[in-house]
Amino acid sequence: MDSCTFTGHRQIKDLDYALLDRVILNLVKSGCARFLCGMAKGFDLAAAESVLGVKKQGYSAELVACIPCETQSESYSSADRARYERILDNCSEVVVLSENYYNGCMHVRDRFMVDNSDVVLCYLREKSGGTFYTVNYASKLGKKIIEL
């Protein structure tokens, strides 16, 4: 288990951040060294910050930003955009999948991340939307899924 993808809702209602930190630390201790993040508001950014926290503790982990289009953060609030930029500055790698936004570019990003990961760490509370789609895609490919 070398790599992990994050997927989760943009609106976080009941996420246990301490549990998120423990799960990521356990993944790192189990040999997971590469974390792919879609950089969406909500769960993605929280999980990215958790990986960066583990790195600050001295553990080896790569954070890879998988950006669906160059304009992803344009609609973010100034606070969310600053958070986004701070995380990007600390990523080991940045993959931009499209120069421009188009209908479906988020699904392309999600499939890219799942295709390049062994495990999917998800925050799934709804039976529709991008997170639901991504978890189902990962399940069809036989990926290990950890649901918070």
Q: Which tens digits make up the pLDDT trace of 61-102?
A: 999 999 999 999 999 999 999 999 999 999 999 999 999 999
CB neighbourhood size of 21 (10 A): 18
| Residues 6+ away with beta carbon under 8 Å from 122 | 6, 7, 8, 43, 131, 134, 135, 145, 146, 147, 148
pLDDT of 19 > 90? The answer is: yes
Domains in the chain, ordered, with CATH? 3-147 (3.40.50.450)
Global confidence as pTM: 0.95
* Whether 123 contacts 15, CB under 8 Å: yes
